[in-house]
Structure 1
Amino acid sequence: MPTPAAQDPITLRPERLVAGGDALARLDDGRVAFVTGALPDEEVEVVVDVDRSDFVRAALTEVVDPSPDRVVPTCPFRRDGCGGCGWMHLAPHAQLDAKIEIVTESLRRIGRFDASEVARLVRSGGAVDPYGYRTSIRLVGTPGRGVGYREERSDRVVPIDHCQIAHENLSRIIREVEVAPGVELSLRTSVATDAVTARWTRPEDRRRRGERRRTNVAAGESVKGLPGDVHIGDRAFLVERVSGVDLRVSAPSFFQSGVDAAEMLVDAVERAAPELVGAGHAVDAYAGVGLFAATAMRHARHVTVVESSRSSCFDAKENLRHRSGSGDRSVAIARTDVARWEPDSANGAVDVVVADPGRPGLAKPGTGAIERTAAPVVVLVSCDPVSLARDARLLTEIGYGVDDVEVLDIFPQTPHVECVTRFTRRGD
């Protein structure tokens, strides 16, 4: 097939879904085509919108022969182009299987693990409910002072008046709130208490190099219609309950997509590291508000929390206050980048590290920090299959072996995937 010219429709049959959510197909000239909105084994017509020497990106124009797993998105805003739920055209029962396949392929192709070994290691860990699961959302103001989400791979905002994956406490606010154009409004609610926090960023508050600075501007300037009991600004916080533990979560602090997701991750970490029950020293790296330190590590004699965010460290200190001064349960909180952190030998040898880095993963700096702990057990919580594959290879290069990879779907209707992987140090 000759190189497709822009706007010339071509017919493809994708092979599989890949990290990021696109379907992968091949042109007759051998190049890979990434098709947004297509599913494996469908016959689709597409238009190429990015043409490179080694790959193309294409937009779906027609599904000629649909997959049995294809469904019509239930959300009208997704049908209008909203980028929040990029997999709503894939039946919910098929989404976790697709994510397992993506993780398997990533470990094989990027991590360079043997296919038979990967098949033995990777398993399903379950999924949260596909609707109403998000307790944190970020909206964007529209020209009419409504709210919306950005279109997929675009800055265009698709107006909405409800969201099927948002918790009902947030959906009520979506219907009433007025937001100035371009303002980003972050909302979070607690399932335990129904409290809601809100904070926002105006376009003019953005610093150079694209960094956004959250500001506590007057509500009348940028946001109107928030209920009177909503807690506003960077000092706002709520209390969420996970695994029977109450956790303070400040508005600027990172937390999981919802409480069900947090519960599922805690359970998976506890399964991955039963050694935590009798651990003398456990490390919660990239700890956020101390989710794992306060739950999965509750029986460890000493816990070290490593986190760079000021607000998250403050929350973690509150969430682990019961350990301070305790004779048999102590805690140390290190506010620093994991890459620069040095274990304190005064707290004893590290028995288990649980690391939950952002989308880039551990990379070499984070892997170096884990190597300095010499921990016999490492549990890696990954939110990207590509970074998981890279990190798994890096960890094997410093003497760890992969024991188990549990794939969780805590972001249904989207291609985002979470994995909990157990590593153990192999003998010299």
Structure 2
Amino acid sequence: MPVLQKNQTIILEIDGYTAEGAGVGHFEGMAVFVPGTLMGETVQCHIIKCAKRYAVGKLRNILASSPRRTTPPCPDFGRCGGCALQHMNPTEQLAFKQQRIADAFSRIGGLSIVSLPVLGMANPVRYRNKAAFPVGREATSTQIGLYAARSHRIIPVEDCLLQSPTTKKILSIIRRYMEGFHISAYHEPTHSGLIRHVVIRHNELGQFLVCLVSVKPLPHADKLAAMLQAEPGYCGLVENINPDKTNVIFGAVEHLLDGQSTLPITLCGLKFEVSVRSFFQVNLSQAERLYQCALSRAMLTGQETVVDAYCGVGSMSLLFAQQARRVIGIECVAPAVANAKHNASINGLENASFICDYAEKALPRLCREGLAPDVLLLDPPRKGCDRAVLDAAIQSGVPRIVYVSCDPATQARDAAILAEAGYRISDVQGVDMFCQTPHVETVCHFMR
């Protein structure tokens, strides 16, 4: 007979966390995951799922509370799927993330590392400069908000505490526009309706762009533009057309309806022009700390050749170019490469060049052609590096690798490959880029 059964109620002591921040306890040797609990707490939970090696419980009562529990600041916590850690105070969030990093390198990479204390924010709210709000309808009601956890059910929100306070006003304007001109919301099950998403991007000056993603061109767009123009900081309105049955937010066709299509953003003293769709760090103050951590570990003297294998719009490439002899950026997304070249131009950096290609193709080719980089900068997508990139790095003999990651698990997997080839990890620095969520950015420094 199984140790636990569905619908059973048990008392549990929480002694750890999952990578997603759920509390973990053990009942007669079986791991039980209970979201919303903290290490050190004793809780009563209701079992909602039983698998062979673990169970999932729903919190019923906290019998002994942790002193690191705090009241979530957001009224939508527990309903919206965006923030899973608001019940943890900032100290516990940082401790959880530091342990998550160490656990990933130990369990996945088989490596013992120096995991430095995670760099947090003094005020971990209102830090995001970009947000995408899904639009849908339920019965006859238009819903603009955020998705519930692990679903496409929209939770209506008036405000999001991770976004600029202006976001609330913008969403209110969009609602008034839709109601006043009878603009329909998209209905995913039937693929009907018009507006699918509202995407908002801010900069540090309080300026913002708005993009409405719709199935076909918007009616009365001039009226919406006039409504937005009354809001201080408004810079432009963009329409993106996405007629497909897909979970991807953006379609291929885009029109500027009013104002400008890019925002000026300053990061680490460098100037960037960023569109609504551009991949750019959403937390500027923490991005500066992350990039400075990466730069310091590169130990540049001005004589080095640096390869940035996943360069995006060139934000780290240009920072490194200020202290290196030359930087070669590689990026597979053509518009991002165009942005990187433009950003190099507006910053007067002539020693940065950019290649539009996949890193797993371009880096081996450059090495075969005789390039011998002094520093390799890696900032891959969440899935980590392609094996061909790691093999090319190893074969090139590059003495220093600075690896920035948004997923400690895939970084640890790649670190094991580099360690087997003789690279030594000096340290791993976590940066809390996504406060109130389980996500953490890391900088790992390899030397050989």
Q: Which residue of 1 aligns with 2:283?
A: 258
Shift of 1:201: 5.8
CA distance in structure 2 between the partners assigned to 1:161 and 1:260 by the alignment: 25
Q: How does 1:146-161 map to 2 (within 5 A)?
A: 146-161=143-158
1:357 aligns with 2:363: no
Q: Which residue of 2 aligns with 1:377?
A: 400
Q: How does 1:162-201 map to 2 (within 5 A)?
A: 162-178=159-175, 180-181=185-186, 183-192=196-205, 194-200=207-213
User: 361, 367, 372: which one pairs with 1:340?
Assistant: 361
Shift of 1:239: 1.8
CA distance in structure 1 between the partners assigned to 2:396 and 2:218 by the alignment: 46
Shift of 1:347: 8.2
1:73 aligns with 2:66: no
Shift of 1:188: 1.2
CA distance in structure 2 between the partners assigned to 1:196 and 1:363 by the alignment: 34
Shift of the 279–59 alpha-carbon distance from structure 1 to 2, 3 Å rule, reads farther
Shift of 1:341: 1.7
Shift of 1:220: 5.4
Q: Deviations over 1:60-103 (max 9, x none)?
A: 22222111111121111114x11111100101232112110111
Contact 2:98 2:118 in 1 (8 A): no
Q: Secondary structure at 1:13's aligned position in 2?
A: strand
Q: How does 1:48-63 map to 2 (within 5 A)?
A: 48-63=47-62
Task: Compute the TM-score of the two structures, normalised by the length of structure 2.
Answer: 0.82
Q: Deviations over 1:225-261 (max 9, x none)?
A: 8724433144732221001110122222211122112
Shift of the 199–289 alpha-carbon distance from structure 1 to 2, 3 Å rule, reads farther
Task: Compute the TM-score of the two structures, normalised by the length of structure 1.
Answer: 0.86
Q: Which residue of 1 aligns with 2:250?
A: none
User: 98, 103, 120: which one pairs with 1:105?
Assistant: 103
CA distance in structure 2 between the partners assigned to 1:68 and 1:21 by the alignment: 17
Contact 1:240 1:259 in 2 (8 A): no
User: 114, 122, 145: which one pairs with 2:115?
Assistant: 122
1:230 aligns with 2:254: no
Q: Which moved more, 1:402-411 or 1:371-380?
A: 371-380
CA distance in structure 2 between the partners assigned to 1:19 and 1:52 by the alignment: 18
Gaps spanning 5+ residues in structure 2: where? 179-184, 188-195, 230-234, 240-253, 256-260
Shift of the 68–250 alpha-carbon distance from structure 1 to 2, 3 Å rule, reads same
Q: Which residue of 1 aligns with 2:3?
A: 3
CA distance in structure 2 between the partners assigned to 1:217 and 1:365 by the alignment: 43
Shift of 1:335: 1.4
CA distance in structure 2 between the partners assigned to 1:39 and 1:238 by the alignment: 41
Shift of 1:363: 4.8
Shift of the 380–217 alpha-carbon distance from structure 1 to 2, 3 Å rule, reads farther
CA distance in structure 2 between the partners assigned to 1:25 and 1:300 by the alignment: 50
CA distance in structure 1 between the partners assigned to 2:171 and 2:303 by the alignment: 45
CA distance in structure 2 between the partners assigned to 1:366 and 1:24 by the alignment: 36
Shift of 1:336: 1.7
CA distance in structure 2 between the partners assigned to 1:201 and 1:105 by the alignment: 43
User: 300, 311, 316: which one pairs with 1:292?
Assistant: 316
Q: Secondary structure at 2:291's aligned position in 1?
A: helix
Contact 1:49 1:57 in 2 (8 A): yes
Contact 1:302 1:347 in 2 (8 A): no
CA distance in structure 2 between the partners assigned to 1:19 and 1:96 by the alignment: 13
Shift of the 60–339 alpha-carbon distance from structure 1 to 2, 3 Å rule, reads farther
Shift of 1:297: 3.0
Q: Which residue of 1 aligns with 2:134?
A: 140
Aligned sequence identity (%): 27
CA distance in structure 2 between the partners assigned to 1:109 and 1:349 by the alignment: 33
Gaps spanning 5+ residues in structure 1: where? 203-215
Shift of the 65–201 alpha-carbon distance from structure 1 to 2, 3 Å rule, reads farther
Shift of the 321–374 alpha-carbon distance from structure 1 to 2, 3 Å rule, reads farther
Shift of the 297–201 alpha-carbon distance from structure 1 to 2, 3 Å rule, reads farther
Shift of the 132–146 alpha-carbon distance from structure 1 to 2, 3 Å rule, reads same
Contact 1:340 1:369 in 2 (8 A): no
Shift of 1:304: 0.9
Instruction: Please tell me the residue identity of whatever aligns with 1:78.
Output: F
Q: Secondary structure at 1:392's aligned position in 2?
A: helix
Contact 2:209 2:263 in 1 (8 A): yes
Q: Which residue of 2 aligns with 1:413?
A: 436
Instruction: Please tell me the residue identity of whatever aligns with 1:5.
Output: Q
Q: Which moved more, 1:337-346 or 1:292-301?
A: 337-346
